[in-house]
Amino acid sequence: MAWQGMLMFFSGLGRLPFNCQAMLHTSEQDLTAFNTLGLRARAQTLVRFHSQEQLPAISTLAGDHSSVFVLGGGSNVVLAPQLDCLVIKVETRGVRLLEERPDAFIVEAQAGENWHAFVAHCVEKGWWGLENLALIPGTVGAAPVQNIGAYGVELDQRFDSLTAWDMHTQKLVNMRAQDCGFSYRNSVFKQSKPGRWLIVAVRFCLPRPWCPVLGYPDLQRYPGLAADKTSLNAKQVFDAVCDIRRQKLPDPAVLGNAGSFFKNPIVPLETRDRLLAIYPDLVSYPIEGSGRCKLAAGWMIDRAGWKGRRLGAMAVHDRQALVLVNKGGATAADVTALADAIKTDIKNKFDVTLEQEPVAVS
């Protein structure tokens, strides 16, 4: 089936009768285990979203709250100790092959699926193309929000379309890439008011024949990978990416963290050249035809001497300076204190402004 049109509206799902509220069970909830930074946090009202029939009732419930927050895997959030907003925890499941075309596999996953498990499943099934995005924490539904990317592949390069529930109009909407406004670590979902969109399912377009993406320096250096592309398969790339990530990035189950805490800042080429004159080993990535480039924030934070440094209950990871880790019992205030100290120092030393990647929720 072809998913056509800019926006396709599904009708007949307006406000549901009062008794549909019964489908929702709300509760107070400790969210410490539901955020990968492991911050102590409580939601006053949490609702678990596990089936599309709940959507109208969820919208009605949202209308009774001043703000709403959609929680996926909790891997890109800094949670305040007490959340007064309505928290919607996405727990829908399901993966299916929608189409097997000569030029692509179209695969759909429900938003609550674990991202890494989904990637592993695709690799096993022979639906290749997502392997560079292995081991990224979080859920499928959260992946388009920040347009996740790693090791030379960004989600928008493998994106077909998604279905989202618009909390304002109370309708399911089909969105193609052009509707999602993807850019580096950004999308319309990240820019919209939190809780406006509830992503329900995401469809991926995995091109055939498969062509491995091995350009990222860590993959080029990886033993045995780039040598013979003809006999390579996606499982080997998947395994290499997992291995590289495990060497550099802490496992949130062992050491609380939110992955990269800052975006790599995008600056004019003049800024890079000014810095290169002082720091010849500065790491940067040109953005073709834009007159701008991305600076490696991890390199700058490392160079400023932050690697391994601790402030209160938070610290900078000792193997990747872009990652802040919870040494035990940290709160949102501890995270902000360390993040602000780093931002101020980078501004003073490099005259570059860092932007935080995880979303602060209160």
Residues contacting 259, CB < 8 A, separation 6+:
36, 75, 76, 136, 137, 249, 323, 357
Residue in 260, 272, 284, 303 annotated catalytic: 260
Binding flag, residue 354, ligand EPU (CB under 6 A):
no
Q: Contacts with ligand EPU: how many residues (CB under 6 A)?
A: 19
CB of 237 to ligand EPU, least distance (A): 13
**C-alpha distances in angstroms, 251 versus 75, 222, 236?**
11, 21, 21
Binding flag, residue 242, ligand EPU (CB under 6 A):
no
- Strand pairing category for 82-90 and 292-295: unpaired
Residues contacting 152, CB < 8 A, separation 6+:
132, 213, 214, 215, 216, 219
Q: Which is nearer to ligand EPU, 210 or 216 (CB)?
A: 216
Q: Is 260 a catalytic residue?
A: yes
Binding flag, residue 139, ligand EPU (CB under 6 A):
no
CB of 218 to ligand EPU, least distance (A): 6
Q: Which is nearer to ligand EPU, 39 or 46 (CB)?
A: 39
Of positions 201, 202, 321, 338, contacts ligand EPU by CB under 6 A = 321
Binding flag, residue 324, ligand EPU (CB under 6 A):
no
Binding flag, residue 259, ligand EPU (CB under 6 A):
yes
Of positions 296, 304, 337, 359, contacts ligand EPU by CB under 6 A = 296
Q: Is 126 helix (H, G, I), strand (E, B) or coil?
A: coil
Binding flag, residue 302, ligand EPU (CB under 6 A):
yes
Residues contacting 100, CB < 8 A, separation 6+:
none
Nearest-angstrom CA–CA distance, 101 and 176:
18
CB of 212 to ligand EPU, least distance (A): 15
Torsion over CA of 124, 130, 132 and 135, rounded to 10 degrees? -70
Of positions 292, 307, 309, 327, contacts ligand EPU by CB under 6 A = 307
Residue in 158, 185, 203, 245 annotated catalytic: 185
Report which secondary-structure segment, H or E, holds 293: strand 292-295
- Strand pairing category for 314-316 and 323-326: antiparallel
Nearest-angstrom CA–CA distance, 313 and 329:
6
Position with the least CB separation from ligand EPU: 259
Report which secondary-structure segment, H or E, holds 240: helix 234-248
CB of 229 to ligand EPU, least distance (A): 20
Q: Which of residues 197-216 bind ligand EPU (CB under 6 A)?
A: 216
Binding flag, residue 283, ligand EPU (CB under 6 A):
yes
Token pair recorded at residue 352: 């570059």
Q: What mask, x for binding ligand EPU by CB under 6 A, covers residues 55 to 94?
A: ----------------------------------------
**C-alpha distances in angstroms, 210 versus 91, 226, 361?**
31, 15, 39
Binding flag, residue 256, ligand EPU (CB under 6 A):
no
Residues forming contacts to ligand EPU in the complex (CB under 6 A) are 150-151, 216, 218, 248-249, 259-260, 263-264, 283, 296, 298-299, 302, 307, 320-322
Which of the residues are catalytic?
Answer: 185, 260, 357
